[in-house]
């Protein structure tokens, strides 16, 4: 086979065979196909798209390019979740212990944040001692003993995706639906789940700004998973305003703990119950019509009785974290400066721009602009309002947790732009726009 022929077929709108896709992806991953030919191929895919069969072939090839996690000796039917990345998205911190408390074991490999979206590992590391790096044996042992593990990647999962993503990033070929869908799903398939709940964020603070595009992405991912024999659910959820009431690291852990104790912001609690409800129903392979409401009722009880919280505490202890911090979140890292930002007028909240709030958190040091940057666990933004809320002049809108006056000033400027207050009544934003099933 010749790379120029494979590139030309796609450039001219043709459909590639399974062998051609495997040949170019495996060749590139081995280093036999140079960057310039892979870049040309990616641009051809970007411009011409891929059929369902081609997208599945690309996903499977990337999923099989490295090690694959086999959870079957410990979890006969494994359920995973994946969020496409949002602002204030601490859902995994609440959902995984809750699902484990319902008796469904969870073994999750999470990532670090990059750009405006935060990562679960960074949040967990604000708990002193919490080890995100486990050996394969420790990872497996912990699921066996505790029914829950939440750590960084222990294996080299889908290395072809890592190599291809690095090239997409510098060749303006990231925002292609088949390339995004295959990238996400290759890692999910390699991580060994039998069923996957996808939380596809849509809005200003998400990768996908447009609902139709997000729906198309979700459908492609559901179809890939279904063809690969997985049970799939994709939720399309709002990311125009931050999720919950905090954006940062330690402050998000504190909010997750409050939620696991039966409190927390209403939107976060509801969001977590829906995601966890789908995971439990899939984990039990329950296809009855009431499976979701029944699972959500059971999970509500686990939240309110503190059993979800107990599981989180068990997780933190098992991974070496200081449980005194879980019992008393005031022990989490605290920023030296805390400033309240009031409303400048009375009215109804018309916008809390999630992207600008995320950029404010980034200015404070809560995220990383480049891979490898350090994050400050203590800083971030509390968001006390939601779109549609009535506010009096002077009521507190944001509380900023900052390390110094410079970052505080930069964050304040962004938060001023993020907020818009209207004299007219405003509709609250929906939490979910749609659910796509692949079962």
DSSP 88: S
What proportions of the chain, in percent to the nearest 5, are helix, strand and coil?
45, 15, 35
CB of 59 vs ligand URA, minimal distance in Å: 11
Counting contacts by CB under 6 A, is residue 183 touching ligand URA?
Answer: yes
Decide if 187 is catalytic: yes
Nearer to ligand URA, 149 or 164 (CB): 164
- With contacts defined by CB under 6 A, name the span among 22-30, 31-39, 141-149, 177-185 that binds ligand URA: 177-185
Residues 299-328 that bind ligand URA (CB under 6 A): none
Decide if 168 is catalytic: yes
Decide if 183 is catalytic: yes
Decide if 271 is catalytic: no
CB of 161 vs ligand URA, minimal distance in Å: 7
Active-site hit among 10, 81, 82, 112? 82
CB of 208 vs ligand URA, minimal distance in Å: 10
Q: How far apart are the C-alpha atoms of 258 and 265, rounded to whole Å?
A: 9
CB of 347 vs ligand URA, minimal distance in Å: 37
Q: How far apart are the C-alpha atoms of 400 and 407, rounded to whole Å?
A: 10
DSSP 416: H
Phi-psi region at 13: left, alpha or beta (left = phi > 0; alpha = psi -120 to 50): left
Active-site hit among 183, 199, 238, 368? 183
CB of 84 vs ligand URA, minimal distance in Å: 6
Active-site hit among 10, 108, 187, 278? 187
Nearer to ligand URA, 174 or 317 (CB): 174
- With contacts defined by CB under 6 A, name the span among 112-120, 179-187, 333-341, 347-355 that binds ligand URA: 179-187
Nearer to ligand URA, 84 or 249 (CB): 84
Cβ atoms 131, 320 nearer than 8 A = yes
Counting contacts by CB under 6 A, is residue 120 touching ligand URA?
Answer: no
CB of 245 vs ligand URA, minimal distance in Å: 26
Name the packing angle between helices 35-48 and 159-169 (round to 10°): 80
Q: Among 180, 273, 326, 385, indicate the residue that binds ligand URA (CB under 6 A).
A: 180
Q: How far is CA 337 from its chain centroid? A: 29
Residues 151-170 that bind ligand URA (CB under 6 A): 165
Active-site hit among 168, 201, 230, 278? 168
Counting contacts by CB under 6 A, is residue 83 touching ligand URA?
Answer: no
- The token pair at 146 is 């505790």
Nearer to ligand URA, 44 or 419 (CB): 44
Decide if 405 is catalytic: no
Count residues binding ligand URA (CB under 6 A). 7
Nearer to ligand URA, 174 or 228 (CB): 174
Q: Is 382 helix (H, G, I), strand (E, B) or coil?
A: strand
CB of 114 vs ligand URA, minimal distance in Å: 9
- With contacts defined by CB under 6 A, name the span among 113-121, 174-182, 268-276, 388-396 that binds ligand URA: 174-182
Q: Among 104, 160, 184, 193, indicate the residue that binds ligand URA (CB under 6 A).
A: 184
Q: Give me the active site residues, please.
A: 82, 161, 168, 183, 187
Kindly list the residues in this chain that would bind ligand URA in the complex (CB under 6 A).
165, 174, 179-180, 183-184, 207
């Amino acid at each position: 086979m010749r790379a120029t022929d494979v590139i030309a077929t796609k450039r001219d709108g043709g459909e590639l065979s399974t062998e051609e896709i495997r040949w170019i992806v495996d060749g590139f991953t081995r280093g036999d196909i140079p960057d310039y030919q892979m870049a040309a191929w990616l641009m051809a895919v970007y411009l011409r798209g891929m059929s369902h069969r081609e997208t599945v072939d690309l996903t499977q090839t990337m999923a099989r390019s490295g090690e694959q996690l086999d959870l079957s000796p410990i979890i006969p039917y494994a359920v995973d979740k994946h969020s496409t990345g949002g602002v204030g998205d601490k859902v995994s911190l609440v959902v995984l212990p809750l699902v484990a408390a319902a008796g469904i074991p969870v073994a999750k490999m999470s990532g670090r944040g990059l750009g405006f979206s935060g990562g679960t590992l960074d949040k967990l590391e604000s708990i002193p001692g919490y080890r995100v790096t486990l050996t394969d044996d420790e990872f497996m042992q912990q699921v066996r003993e505790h029914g829950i593990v939440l750590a960084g990647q222990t294996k080299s999962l889908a290395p072809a995706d890592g190599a291809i993503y690095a090239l997409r990033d510098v060749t303006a070929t990231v925002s292609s639906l088949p390339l995004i869908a295959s990238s996400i799903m290759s890692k999910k398939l390699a991580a060994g789940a039998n069923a996957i709940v996808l939380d596809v964020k849509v809005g200003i603070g998400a990768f996908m700004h447009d609902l139709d595009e997000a729906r198309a992405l979700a459908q492609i991912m559901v179809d890939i998973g279904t063809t690969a024999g997985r049970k799939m659910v994709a939720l399309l959820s709002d990311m125009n305003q931050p999720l919950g009431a905090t954006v940062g690291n330690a402050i998000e852990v504190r909010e997750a703990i409050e939620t696991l104790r039966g409190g927390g912001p209403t939107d976060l609690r509801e969001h977590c119950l829906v995601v966890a409800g789908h995971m439990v129903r899939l984990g039990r392979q329950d296809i009855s019509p009431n499976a979701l409401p029944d699972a959500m009722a059971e999970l509500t009880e686990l939240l309110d009785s503190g059993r979800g919280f107990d599981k989180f505490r068990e997780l933190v202890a098992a991974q070496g974290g200081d449980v005194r911090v879980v019992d008393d979140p005031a022990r989490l890292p605290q920023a030296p400066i805390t400033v309240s930002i009031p409303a400048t007028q009375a009215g109804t909240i018309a916008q809390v721009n999630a992207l600008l709030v995320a950029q404010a958190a980034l200015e404070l040091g809560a995220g990383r602009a480049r891979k490898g940057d350090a994050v400050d666990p203590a800083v971030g933004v509390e968001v006390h309002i939601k779109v549609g809320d009535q506010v009096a002049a002077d009521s507190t809108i944001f509380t900023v947790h900052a390390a110094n006056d410079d970052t505080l000033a930069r964050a304040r400027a962004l938060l001023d732009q993020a907020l818009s207050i209207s004299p007219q009544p405003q509709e609250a934003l929906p939490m979910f726009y749609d659910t796509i099933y692949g079962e």
